[in-house]
Structure 1
Amino acid sequence: MSRILKTSLFYPLEVIIDDREPISIEKKLLEKGNLLVQRKRLEVGDYMFDNELIVERKTILDFCASIKDGRLFKQIGKLANCTIPGILILEGKQKDFKATDFSAPAINGILISISVGFKIPILRSKGIEETVSIMLQGYKQLTKESFQYYRSHPRRRKFKKKKDRHFHDKIHILEGFPGIGNERARSLLEKFQTLGRVFQSRREEFLDIKGIGPNTWSQFQEILKK
């Protein structure tokens, strides 16, 4: 463990865990030794390492649930705008996506939006033990060469001001649903503005879009509710 912590200006390594995260991960971290771990409510992410790395952790089921209820892009937006570098760890096996009824194009579109649109690295983990390893290795890599730079000059992500810099990513996500092509996806976004509002729209509002009928609405809801 000392090899992981050798570049830290704090000894032992301080880890803050959001109090909603499972205790099993805290136990795995404590098994590594030389860590100061505390639990409290975090405004951004689920884990913070020495104020140098923030980790947003999601199981595949929670990842898909957060898409439906509109949490995902709010959380990712906070992570992207934070001065501390952040990563997203997606925990679970590929087969877990099948239980969500999200199509592969929809999932790929969302992952592309996060990694390309928001500039947030996405790392895959099969389980808790691998998640802990990835977090510690991520911290090690981040502080390996330029620890002083990150501490003295926090990275700030700058974006060109646009009406909606993620518009095309959102289009790609909606295109993954049955019966919704590019034109209908654009119409939905122009009407509702955000993916969250599209997912939470009422039947009559949804059917007000030209070219969308009751069958498309039913298929859309069937995927979101499962």
Structure 2
Amino acid sequence: MDPSQAFSMRVDDREASSPVLAALRGHPQFRIQVERLPVGDYLIDDSLLFERKTLMDLAASIKDGRLFAQAERLANAGPRGALILEGSTRDLTESRMRREAIQGALVTLTLFFGLPLLRARDPEESARLMLFAARQQRAFARGAIPRHGKRPRGKARLQSHILQGLPRIGPERAKRLIEHFGSIEAVIAADAEALTAVPGIGDAVAESIRWAVREIPAGYIPSARGFFAALHAPRTPGRRCASSP
């Protein structure tokens, strides 16, 4: 990768032993520097600031009162802040935190502090989320992601705009898909083998497109919602938190 195109990643030194840092080092797109950050855990291009918490950390910080002080600093830091929640629903069960306490914390973080919450299963997924965010930040800055309210004019631009709503499809791939298939309808109807005949569309991209356009089976719940579904599961007997936020 061209070094000039790499993302600057400043990592708080208290995350030095984190498996997330090890996962980040596996992505050559990042130029990593470990130092003490006044706020947050990971700072990308001085514009995206992430605080990472395992779900057990989240429960502990609710109990000891640290969570909202951290959230206030993150929200007021300057760079765009977000919170990554990492772990499985089993972690929530083991924390024995009341469902209402966790729900109250999530409502406060999102609605009143304005912090986006991103879910990750494990450290590797946390690292990938930050890489995706860095790429989207660059794409948005150069206008590759159309802003709300700006509608493309002309049929070709409109078709490109629609196709860029598919996963891993940018302006160049959208152009190649239209040139190859002739219409959006044909792109949507194409199977994975036909999609890979387009230059720049490999197996992974083709499967991502097929995943996005195929019909969702009845009763299917995306895995990203598993965390929130767990909040509504029957309460596990055990010690309760003294109060909810």
Q: Is residue 15–residue 48 contact of structure 1 (8 Å, CA) maintained in 2? A: yes
Tell me which residue corresponds to 2:35. 40
Tell me which residue corresponds to 2:241. 223
* In 2, Cα distance between equivalents of 1:84 and 1:147: 18
Normalised to the residue count of structure 2, the TM-score between the two structures is 0.55
* In 2, Cα distance between equivalents of 1:147 and 1:119: 25
Q: Is residue 98–residue 240 contact of structure 2 (8 Å, CA) maintained in 1? A: no
Deviation at 1:146, TM superposition (A): 2.2
Question: Percent identity between the aligned chains?
Answer: 36
Q: Match for 1:91 among 86, 89, 100?
A: 86
SS for the counterpart of 1:55 is strand
* In 1, Cα distance between equivalents of 2:131 and 2:49: 11
Q: Is residue 63–residue 72 contact of structure 1 (8 Å, CA) maintained in 2? A: yes
Tell me which residue corresponds to 1:66. 61
Letter of the 1:62 counterpart = D
Which residues of structure 2 form unaligned runs of 5+?
144-238
Deviation at 1:222, TM superposition (A): 5.0
Alignment of 1:125 with 2:120, yes or no, is: yes
Deviation at 1:122, TM superposition (A): 0.2
Relative distance call for 1:222 and 1:34 in structure 2 (3 A) is closer
Letter of the 2:57 counterpart = D
Letter of the 2:14 counterpart = R
SS for the counterpart of 2:105 is helix
* In 2, Cα distance between equivalents of 1:140 and 1:68: 35
Tell me which residue corresponds to 2:26. 31
Matches within 5 A, 1:194-213: none
Alignment of 1:56 with 2:51, yes or no, is: yes
SS for the counterpart of 2:78 is coil
Alignment of 1:17 with 2:11, yes or no, is: yes
Normalised to the residue count of structure 1, the TM-score between the two structures is 0.60
Q: Is residue 52–residue 139 contact of structure 1 (8 Å, CA) maintained in 2? A: no
**Larger gyration radius, structure 1 or structure 2:** 2
User: What CA deviation, in whole Å up to 9, does each residue of 1:23-56 have, x standing for no partner?
Assistant: 4222211111142211111111100001010000
User: What CA deviation, in whole Å up to 9, does each residue of 1:122-151 have, x standing for no partner?
Assistant: 011110010001111112222312269xxx
* In 2, Cα distance between equivalents of 1:131 and 1:95: 18
* In 1, Cα distance between equivalents of 2:11 and 2:107: 27
* In 2, Cα distance between equivalents of 1:97 and 1:118: 23
* In 2, Cα distance between equivalents of 1:23 and 1:96: 18
Tell me which residue corresponds to 2:135. 140
* In 2, Cα distance between equivalents of 1:222 and 1:107: 12
SS for the counterpart of 1:45 is coil
* In 2, Cα distance between equivalents of 1:143 and 1:34: 13
* In 1, Cα distance between equivalents of 2:29 and 2:134: 14
Structure 1 segments, 4+ long, off by >4 Å, are none
Aligned CA-pair RMSD: 2.3
